[in-house]
Amino acid sequence: MKKIQINTQNFTLHPSGAIYWEDQKMLLIADVHLGKVVHFRKYGAPVPATAAYQNFEKLTEVTNHFEPDTVCFLGDLFHSKLNEEWNDFEKWVEYCKAKVILISGNHDIIPNYLYEDLGVNVFDELLLDGFYLTHHPTELEEMFNFSGHIHPGIRMKGVGRQFLRLPCFYKTENQLILPAFGNFTGKHILTPSEKDEVYAIVEGEVFCVSKN
């Protein structure tokens, strides 16, 4: 794990792709894309069924580790329409002791009332203590933005001609984009500037790989 400070607030970057906001006791998670495995398998994609359960195992593990007061999903919690993974999500919400909220993403097409029936509050955006929580990376004057959507990754050169494509936390001056939490989501490789901070996830560890 990697601890960082932003605007005097303390955050922990977890190798699952989540961020724990210590001062708010809030866990930030982006782009889980629940239901995507079932969706792809329905149309014949050779995806192992166990991939769906791994997302819930990760969610349980990281919430048990931090014991947050609030779990905030920064959009694309579900990939598409309702499918059998909704039943697993209902069980997870019932198990989770924290308050659960969702910032709507472009894939979140499941009706809000179904979330609200589970006690999950849904927002388009959230302003909290000088921080702006959204799904899409968004700049707002005098606010630091946490978001997802991009599924950021970094391309690292190894020995010889070897290259690695790693998920990463991508931080600019006023913004931090979380990696996709879901294990079947892909990565968008970004090219950082000299001022950007990049924290790559490698074999269960978080490393700062930027030059600054």
What residue segments make up the domains of the chain, in order of their start? Answer: 2-208
Nearest to 18 by CA among 84, 98, 82: 98
Mean pLDDT value of segment 95-121: 91
Cα–Cα dist 9/15, whole Å: 20
Distances, alpha carbon 24 to alpha carbons 1, 21, 87, 152, in Å: 18, 6, 29, 25
What pTM did the predictor assign? Answer: 0.90
Cα–Cα dist 17/14, whole Å: 6
Position 98 pLDDT exceeds 70: yes
pLDDT, residue 50, reads 65
**Are the CB atoms for 100 and 63 separated by under 8 Å?**
no
Q: With bands split at pLDDT 50, 70 and 90, how would you rate the model's confidence at 164?
A: confident
pLDDT, residue 65, reads 96
Question: 107: which 2 tokens?
Answer: 């894939």
Position 44 pLDDT exceeds 80: no
Distances, alpha carbon 13 to alpha carbons 16, 94, 120, 169, 179, in Å: 9, 26, 24, 8, 10
Position 41 pLDDT exceeds 60: no
Pick the CATH number of 2-208 from 3.90.1310, 1.10.10, 3.60.21, 1.10.8: 3.60.21
Segments in 43-136 forming alpha helices (H): 50-66, 85-95, 112-117
100 vs 50: which has the higher pLDDT = 100
pLDDT digits over 51-72, tens only?
667 888 999 999 999 999 999 9
Question: 77: which 2 tokens?
Answer: 């919690």
- Mean of per-residue pLDDT scores for the chain: 87
Position 36 pLDDT exceeds 70: no
Nearest to 104 by CA among 116, 91, 117: 116
Q: Which residue has the tokens 């494509």?
A: 165
